[in-house]
Structure 1
Amino acid sequence: MGTFDILFYHFFNHFKLKKNKKANSIATFYVSFLQCSLLLLLGVFFAKFFRKMHMDTMSADKAWTLFVLVVIFIFFKNWMYYGGRKRKVLNAKMIKNKKLTYNIYMLWFLPVVILALTLVLLQAV
């Protein structure tokens, strides 16, 4: 079981008590948003690195188009992956760890920090 599966499970259990019908959607959105923000951070890092190394690998328009296509793929993949059966399997595996070990506000703050780091890296020369 991976890191994103554990984060999905914690989000799902947290919001299952408060918003029963939307818990799966919220948890899926969070995991997708976190994966997309990490992808953006890596993309900006490698774009700056390749620019400093004077390598012309891809134009900016093509890179943004590729990023949008990958984001759509990530959202669709997570929607299918965490649909019904996978969530039940996660529930069975994590049933012994009922206690949430992560602070939910810190988990929401994580993608914001990643996006802020991406903006700082994007502004760097």
Structure 2
Amino acid sequence: MSMPTNSTRFRPRGARLTLVAALLVAALGILIQFLTGVPGFPVVPPGPIILAAVAVVVAVVPWRFIPVLGLIAAAFVLTGMFLAGTGDRLINPADIGPFAGTWMQLVGLLTALSAGIVATVSAARATRQA
């Protein structure tokens, strides 16, 4: 059995690395909200744990379609963010911790969605070409 060469082995590309970074930014945004006293969080908020764990998996697992996991996690947390009614924190800069944390979370999740789509489509194209 021959080992794959560098030209045939899948390597992380820019979109995949952007996905990892965006998931970590979103996790940090949630953590900032929690630490600044936003009401409604459980004792241990699951969002940062889920997003950080998925970011690690996307970063280290070499499977071509693992970015789909990051895409799903970002969509799941973004849905939860809007169901929880975070809109008031996005427009109230006077309360800087919740404001900054919510914006970090939102920008991270939207970037993760975009990068996840690009990484998944790139993987699908590479699979078709192989």
TM-score band by shorter chain is: 0.3 to 0.5
TM-score w.r.t. structure 1 length? 0.38
TM-score w.r.t. structure 2 length? 0.37
